Structure formats: structure tokens, C-alpha cells
Amino acid sequence: MRFAHLGAPGGSGARLAVVVDDRAVFVDELMDGAPQDLQELIECGGDLTGRVEEAAAVAGGRRELWHPVSELRHASAVLRPPVVLAIGANYAAHSDELALKVEKAATVFSLWPNSLAAHEGTTTWPAEISGQVDYEAELGVIIGRPARNVRVADALDHVFGYTVVNDITARDLQFSEAQWSRCKSFDGFTPTGPVVVTADEIPDPQDLWLATTVDGRLLQDASTSGMVRSVAELIAFLSRSTTLLPGTLISTGSPGGAGYSRTPPVFLRDGSKVTVSCSGIGALTTYCRVI
């Protein structure tokens, strides 16, 4: 299944919806006691997800319930996660181009919730704070049930689904400070979407393709098979020291092709359109505004 948070342009807010091809149906129009957002759906467990799937299938022929996605406004595909964890230096090519050392243990940092942003949204930042804002295409993993000290072989059983993340980064701040959270957590610096795809539709998260285009130019083009640490290995590693709660979003790192490493560098500018995509999930577009 595919879930999104959608609303009518100018409406009061986004609602949880099931997306099928280019149509969407709001979950609260399918059933009584519907979850208000993805976080509530995940916390309620797999039985509720199954009920939603059945209700959407029954409603498939009721054209009056379905809306063209193109006529709706997206919110972040992930809302109210307990935490957003990001993994650095998880592709050798990206580590090399940024002259980052690949450590024996994964590099982990948090992204602040104000950074979550929507597909087709506009991300704005002040020119005086950063003039080197970069893009990073990443696979996002959403935890479905608590994971504590899990084995690699069992780790994917704890995944609810996957989404696309653009881990936007102020490189000048990144390389002038001893931590990475601030440079990646400006308002709107973590777009997610356009949908969350449930894990049953992604049999192997290491067999997906990530790409980034900026103003029509293809700048990243790589397979998730290039991860230094697989999705399962990351979940197992993180779960050794903490319980990964349902709804936790893990952004699993970016492949090579970052704008910072190019000659000349390619940074996001006022008016830029950046689209990051992942096979099996979709394409996530962000518009840029520098003030």
C-alpha cells in the first residue's frame, strides 16, 4: 500500500490517504475510527493497516470517494515521528568525495522535526546563513514495531515502510562545526515523500535506484546496493543501544554526486527545482527560495 498526507489546496490541513496510481482516497472517508495520520496508524499495529487495505479495496469502484492526486496538496509523508535518525558516510563514493572517513561504527545524528517538509513544497533559507546548500537523495525507512537488540536477519521484520528523503545540507556550516544536526535541520531541510510504501511492496531495500536532478540536470544516479551498511545492519546496530519506536524515520545516507564535490560546485540557489527519486517509491520535488 501507499500512504500520503494530503489536503485540498487552501484547506484546513492534511489527512491520511491511500494512494493508488494517480488517485487518492482519504482514510477517514473509508471507515469509522480511522487513524488521523501515519503515526497513529503505525502505533495501532498491523491489524488496523489490514482493515484500511480492505476498506480501500472495497471502495475501489466508488468513484465519488477518489480524488486526483494532482488536485491535492501534500504534507510531509512522515508526520510526528518519535525521532528522525540520519546516517552519515554510508556510501563509499559519497564519503570519498567529501573526504569523510568511513568509521568502524555508523555515523548517526538526529534531524529536528521542524525540518520535515512536503513534496512540491518550497524550502526557504537566509543567504547570510549559508551560501552552500546541497542536496542528498536518501532512502527513508520507517519502523513499524519496536526494535530492541534485533538480529540483522530479523531487522526488516520491524520495518513498516519506505519513503524518499532529500537530506538538504548547508555544507559551509557542516564543515565549520563539530556536529551535523544544525546544518541539516533548517526549516524545510528534510522533505519526505511523495508517499510511504509499505514494506511488502519493497522485498529488498538494497535493490533500489536513487537519483537526483537539479534544474533538469541529473547529478546523482546510484543503487542502494552501494550502502556501506545495509538497512538491516543499520536497524540492528541502532537497536543495540536504544529501542527504535514505531514511526521512527531512519534516513540511510546518500550516494555519490553531491554538489559540493563537483568542479565547479553545484549548490541549490534561489529558484532551483530539485527532484530526488527512488525506484518503487516515487519522485520528491522541492522548490528553493533564498532570502
Which part of the chain is CATH 3.90.850.10? 84-290
Please tell me what DSSP assigns to residue 197.
E
Q: Cβ atoms within 10 A of the Cβ of 32, count?
A: 5
What contacts 24+ positions apart, CB below 8 Å, involve 173-179?
173/129, 173/130, 179/109
CB 131 within 8 A of CB 170: no
Query: For the domain 84-290, what is the CATH code?
Result: 3.90.850.10
What global pTM score does this model have? Answer: 0.95
CB 253 within 8 A of CB 226: no
Q: In whole angstroms, give the CA distance from residue 83 to residue 251.
A: 11
Sole residue written with cell 532512502: 139
pLDDT score, position 103: 63
pLDDT digits (tens), the chain, 291 positions: 999 999 987 777 899 999 999 999 999 999 999 999 999 999 998 899 999 999 999 998 898 999 999 999 999 999 999 999 999 989 986 556 555 566 677 899 999 999 999 999 999 999 999 999 999 999 999 999 999 999 999 999 999 999 999 999 999 999 999 889 999 999 999 999 999 999 999 999 999 999 999 999 999 999 999 999 999 999 999 999 999 999 999 999 999 999 998 999 999 999 999 999 999 999 999 999 999
Retrieve residue 238's grid coordinates. Answer: 541502532
